[in-house]
Chain A
Amino acid sequence: MMEAEFAGYQVQTEFFEGPLDLLLHLIRKNKMNIIEVRLSQITAEYLSYLESKRGINPSRESEFLMTAATLIYIKSRSLLPKPENPAEESPEKQLIHTLIEYEKVQKISRMLQEMEYTELLLWRRLEIDENFANREYALKEVSAFQLAEIFFDIVKKKENEQFLYISSKNYSIAEKQAEILALLESSGFFDFSVYVARLDSIEEIVVSFFTLLEMVKRHLLVAVQEQLFGTISLYKNEAGKLEN
């Protein structure tokens, strides 16, 4: 009975999650003890998987190859006469340590998977209708760091655009600030990426961005992001206005 129920969460994966997953699989398959495993013994088998691309995720191939290189290096070292230095961290010891750690990760993953399975049987209230919640309440203030991330994204996009003329206009932070305040006065808020995308040159974008950062810092503006990776909106900060 239990088994039939638990069959639900068994995952059949087409690919190994990564080189460590494949190595652990080979160790188990050969009934080896992970602590005493001689990696040089399973190197050939690892390479044959790689060659036949059996269970190898194509987008992860480089990582599988890198581990293959490590395995071959370990094997070549084992063939050479070596002065035994137990204090030295050999690449074999390192890899085995990583494997032991990864085995723990797999165990925790399986436990989380079982917990997820049990929890998914319990249904909770669905998301309440958008209108129910006060829109302002759901907004989260963003950090200057997130603003900067979006800024660099936009600059990259702009860099690819062709400009027909070179603007000789000079921009000042004071001018920009007046312009932004006027914009906020009329519309209440604006979308950061839409605003920046409308600007003419990289220079103007840079000055505008500095102005925005300065204004956020002086609490003249509040930057809010409604969801992760979503767009950032800028609002006028009424409290900040009073202070200044």
Chain B
Amino acid sequence: MNPEQLSQRIALIEAILFVSKEPVEPGRIMEFLGIGDIEEFEAILAAMEKEHLQERPERGLILKRSGGGLQLVTKPDLHDELKQFFTVKQSTKLTLASLETLSIISYRQPATLAEISDMRGVNSSGPVKSLLQKKLIKIVGRKKVPGLPALYATTQEFLVYFGLNDLSELPSLEELTELFEEKEQPSLFK
């Protein structure tokens, strides 16, 4: 691949990602460009990140890989100024109840409402409904027990929202324990 060809390909990938609302599957781009070799494609992406986006201080975008795809997003240090420009006061974050519910579903999926409520010790229909509306979880079937309760699992949007490529990227429970071992558990209350 000569430098001119490389530039052309990078330009095209950038344009595709710019127009796409959702992460674009690398396979689709590879097929379109007629690249069969994943390493060749990775080399193009690496060049794109290094020489055109991530490492160029005058660029505001970076190449992000999450949700199993490629996407252009803004650089994290521009966050505050973007918030000012678009007069966004507070980014909407998930509530603690929603996060807990999502924790259970992401590690035990598919899970029923009863299982989630049992583990949290409180009825969780509220957060489940709000997560369904946010499309972070979906109904994947019904459990073959009396009442045929719905089974919930995480969605593609969940992966994108938390910057994951697939569920295997979530740390295992053992790793998680180590992760938080040294840190003093901060109290939420004063």
Which chain A residues have a beta carbon within 8 Å of chain B's beta carbons? 9-13, 16-21, 25, 28-29, 55, 60, 63, 67, 98, 101-102, 104-113, 115-125, 127-128, 228-229
Contact = CB atoms under 8 A, between A and B. Distances in A.
Contacts of B104: 105, 108
Interface stretch (B36-44, B49-57, B70-78): B70-78
Interface residues of B, number: 51
Contact of B119 (A9, A101, A125): A101
Contacts of A18: 120-122
Contact of A120 (B21, B93, B121): B93
Given A55-B189, A120-B93, A112 B121 contact: no
A177 B20 CA distance: 43
Given A11-B96, A20-B121, A28-B185, A121 B76 contact: yes
Nearest to A109: B99
Contact of B100 (A17, A28, A67, A229): A17
Interface in B91-146: 91, 93-94, 96-97, 99-100, 102-104, 106-107, 118-123, 132-133, 135
B163 A17 contact: no
B133 A67 contact: no
A119 B163 contact: yes
B162 interface: yes
B103 A112 contact: yes
B138 to A, nearest CB: 9
B187 A120 contact: no
B34 interface: no
8 contacts: A28-B187, A98-B119, A105-B104, A108-B176, A112-B99, A117-B93, A124-B73, A228-B133
Contacts of B64: 122
A105 B119 contact: yes
Contacts of B149: none
Interface of B: 18, 20-21, 62, 64, 71-79, 82, 91, 93-94, 96-97, 99-100, 102-104, 106-107, 118-123, 132-133, 135, 161-164, 171, 173, 176-177, 179-180, 185-189
Contact of A108 (B91, B93, B107): B107
A28 B104 CA distance: 22
Contact of B79 (A102, A106, A121): A121
Nearest to A57: B122
A104 B103 CA distance: 9
B166 to A, nearest CB: 14
Nearest to B175: A111
Nearest to A9: B93
Contacts of B18: 125
Contacts of A121: 76-77, 79
A111 B187 contact: no
A113 B98 CA distance: 10
Contacts of B76: 118, 121-122
Contacts of B71: 124
Given A109-B96, A228-B135, A13 B163 contact: no
B180 A110 contact: yes
